[in-house]
C-alpha cells in the first residue's frame, strides 16, 4: 500500500512542479486526459468489468452514486439560496460541490486500498454514475446558470452514446463471466496501467490554490458537501440497506473523493466563478487524501 501512495504523491508533485516550471505546454493536461479517456479507461473497462458477475452488488455503486449526487445538489441549491449567492456562484457550486473525481483520483486511491479486484465496481460508479451526471446534469448546470444559451438535449445524448469509455463499458458488460486470451489480456493490462501515473500527473498540472477572503463561505460549503456530506449519505444508505461487501466499500470510498477537475474546467469555461472553482478543486484534491483515509478506517 505504501508503494501505491508513494506513486500517487510523487505523480501529483511532478505534475505540480511541471505546471509551475512551465516545462509542459498549457494544453498538456488536455492531451493526457484524452489519452486516458480514449485509451486507458477503455482498456481498464475491458480488463475489469468481465471479471464481475451480474448481481445486486453490481448495481450498488450506480445507485449510491446517483443518490449521493442528487442529495448533494439539493443541499447546495438550498444553502446557496439561504446565503443569497448569485446565479453564477450557485452554478459553480452545483458543479464542483456535487461531482466527485471518481476516476482520476478514485481509481488510484481505491486500488491502493482494495487492490485491482475493486476496479470493476469503481468503473460502474464512475461511468454509469459520475460520467453520465457530468454529461447531462453538468452540461445543464453550465448552460442554465451561465445564461448564455438553451440546453440542447439531443447534443447531450449524442455525447454520451459516442463517448469511447462509455461505449467500451457497454461492450465489456456483454463479456461478464468470459475470459479473454492471455495475449489480449497482457495488452489490456499494459494500457490500463497507464491510467494511474498519467491521471495524477494531469491532476498536478491543473492544481490551483488561490483563495480570496470573499470566497471562503462558498469554498467551505463546496468542500463540506463533497468531502463530508457525500460520504455520510453513502454510509447512511449502507446502514439502511447494505451488507458487508466490496461493492459497498467501493461506493462509500467513491462518494468521499475530492471535487472533479473536469467539473472545475467546465465551470471556468462557462464563466461560473472560475477562481473559486479552481481553488475548490485544488484544495479538495489534497484534503481528500486525508478524508478518504478516515473513511477507509471506518470501513476497516
Collect the ranges in the chain with pLDDT lower than 50. Answer: none
Q: What is the pLDDT of residue 65?
A: 96
Q: Answer for the pair 202, 35: CB distance below 8 angstroms, yes or no.
A: no
Per residue in 147-160, pLDDT (tens digit) is: 765 667 777 677 76
Measured between alpha carbons, how far is 12 from 105 in angstroms, rounded to an integer? 10
Q: What is the pLDDT of residue 220?
A: 96
Measured between alpha carbons, how far is 100 from 52 in angstroms, rounded to an integer? 23
Q: How far is CA 272 from CA 84, 143, 268, in A?
A: 16, 10, 6
Question: How many degrees, rounded to 5, is the angle at CA 44 between CA 15 and CA 138?
Answer: 65
**Cα-Cα-Cα-Cα dihedral sign, residues 47, 123, 260, 233:** negative
217 grid coordinates = 463561505
Q: What is the pLDDT of residue 150?
A: 66
Domain boundaries, the chain: 2-299
For domain 2-299, the CATH class is: mainly alpha
DSSP 98-154: T-B-TTTTHHHHHHHHH-GGGHHHHHHHIIIIIIHHIIIIIHHHHHHHHTSS---HH
Q: What is the pLDDT of residue 209?
A: 77
Q: What is the pLDDT of residue 134?
A: 85
Q: What is the pLDDT of residue 73?
A: 98
Amino acid at each position: 500500500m505504501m508503494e501505491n501512495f508513494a506513486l500517487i504523491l510523487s505523480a501529483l508533485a511532478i505534475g505540480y512542479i511541471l505546471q509551475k516550471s512551465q516545462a509542459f505546454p498549457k494544453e498538456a493536461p488536455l492531451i493526457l486526459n484524452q489519452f486516458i479517456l480514449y485509451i486507458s479507461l477503455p482498456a481498464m473497462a475491458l480488463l475489469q468489468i468481465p471479471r464481475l458477475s451480474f448481481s445486486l452488488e453490481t448495481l450498488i455503486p450506480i445507485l449510491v452514486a446517483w443518490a449521493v449526487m442528487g442529495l448533494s445538489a439539493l443541499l447546495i441549491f438550498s444553502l446557496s439560496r439561504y446565503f443569497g449567492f448569485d446565479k453564477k456562484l450557485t452554478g459553480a457550486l452545483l458543479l464542483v460541490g456535487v461531482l466527485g473525481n471518481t476516476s482520476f483520483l478514485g481509481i488510484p486511491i481505491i486500488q491502493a486500498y482494495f487492490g485491482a479486484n475493486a476496479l470493476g465496481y469503481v468503473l460502474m460508479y464512475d461511468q454509469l454514475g459520475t460520467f453520465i451526471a457530468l454529461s447531462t446534469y453538468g452540461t445543464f448546470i453550465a448552460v442554465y446558470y451561465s445564461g448564455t444559451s438553451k440546453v440542447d438535449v439531443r447534443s447531450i445524448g449524442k455525447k454520451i452514446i459516442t463517448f469511447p469509455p462509455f461505449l467500451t463499458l457497454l461492450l465489456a458488460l456483454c463479456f461478464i463471466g468470459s475470459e479473454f486470451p492471455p495475449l489480449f489480456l497482457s495488452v489490456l493490462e499494459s494500457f490500463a496501467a497507464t491510467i494511474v501515473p498519467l491521471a495524477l500527473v494531469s491532476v498536478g498540472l491543473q492544481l490551483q490554490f488561490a483563495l480570496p477572503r470573499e470566497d471562503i463561505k462558498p469554498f467551505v460549503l463546496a468542500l463540506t458537501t463533497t468531502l463530508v456530506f457525500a460520504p455520510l449519505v453513502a454510509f447512511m444508505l449502507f446502514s439502511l440497506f447494505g451488507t458487508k461487501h466490496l461493492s459497498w466499500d467501493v461506493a462509500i470510498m467513491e462518494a468521499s473523493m475530492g471535487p472533479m477537475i473536469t467539473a472545475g474546467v467546465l465551470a471556468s469555461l462557462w464563466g461560473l466563478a472560475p477562481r473559486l472553482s479552481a481553488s475548490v478543486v485544488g484544495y479538495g484534491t489534497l484534503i481528500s487524501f486525508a478524508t478518504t483515509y478516515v473513511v477507509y478506517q471506518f470501513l476497516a
